Structure 1
Amino acid sequence: MAVVVRPLTGDGSPPAEGQYAQAAEVTGATRWLYLSGQIPVAPDGSLARDFTGQCEQAWDNLETQLRAAGMTLDNLVKVTTFLSDRKYALENREVRLRRLGGRQTALTVIVTGIFDEAWLVEIEAVAAA
């Protein structure tokens, strides 16, 4: 049986601010992948100075881990993004929408301190196959 991730929004739910699912129902999964927070550091140890560059790198790192498990962005069920400052919310949304290309996952965005003060974003996820 193929894995199906079905976006759900229950009757009476508030409208979603951005392209995401209020819930994601998974059927047919035999494997689950829990991705640790993917930091915005490149494999060579470099760190972009701007938010968009860091966010793109965190997504690149997330996709690297998915590939290691034989998965793609299509397997994502839930994404949690940690922002170091609320001012990055719009840029984060733009990068996420472009990277997900219409895919709707369950989503949480949290504004908080991040382990390394130079990091502006960290992304963790859950995927199923």
Structure 2
Amino acid sequence: MPRFFNPDSLPKPASNYVQAVEMSGPGRRLIVSGQIGVTPEGRMVEGYGPQTEQAWRNALAAVAAAGFDIADIVAIRVYDVAPGNVAAYREIRDRMLGGHAPASTYVIVAGLAHENLLTEIEVEAFRQD
């Protein structure tokens, strides 16, 4: 089982994530490509909150399709185009993950693959056999 922790030698996290995750032993690793606010039918949703929620639904669907659970998520990387969305992102992340707190990176970028995309979320999971 991965060990989620915050070393005393590092600053405390600013929100619900951990500074480090240790994985050892045999297991399966899942890397989910960056997910965006597009429905499975191919429709891009509008607005930061709806796009972020859809990106999370997509990422969590990939996690479930591989036989993993939310608790198996060990790392998240988020790319946002607008600097004022971190609080909204954190609220959505915490709700979608049900309080699970993996390692997390949040980056503001100049743009994504399509001009109307506002966020992209990558997820990594690990499950011991």
TM-score, normalised with respect to structure 2: 0.92
Q: Contact 1:29–1:128 at 8 Å: present in 2 too? A: no
How far off its partner does 1:28 sit?
4.1
Q: 2:24 matched to 1:44?
A: no
Q: Percent identity?
A: 34
Counterpart in the other structure of 1:79: 76
Counterpart in the other structure of 1:105: 102
RMSD across aligned positions (CA): 1.2
Distance in 2 separating the partners of 1:10 and 1:75 = 20
How far off its partner does 1:60 sit?
0.6
Deviation string 1:57-88 (CA, Å, 9 cap, x unpaired) is 00010011112211121110100011011111
Which residue, out of 60, 63, 68, partners 2:60?
63
How far off its partner does 1:29 sit?
4.5
Distance in 1 separating the partners of 2:65 and 2:117 = 24
How far off its partner does 1:8 sit?
1.3
TM-score, normalised with respect to structure 1: 0.92
Counterpart in the other structure of 2:116: 118
Return 5+ residue gaps in structure 2 as ranges. Answer: none
Deviation string 1:24-73 (CA, Å, 9 cap, x unpaired) is 11244411011110111001222221111000100010011112211121
Which residue, out of 8, 12, 15, partners 1:18?
15
| Residues matched between the structures, number | 126
Most deviating of 12-21 and 24-33: 24-33
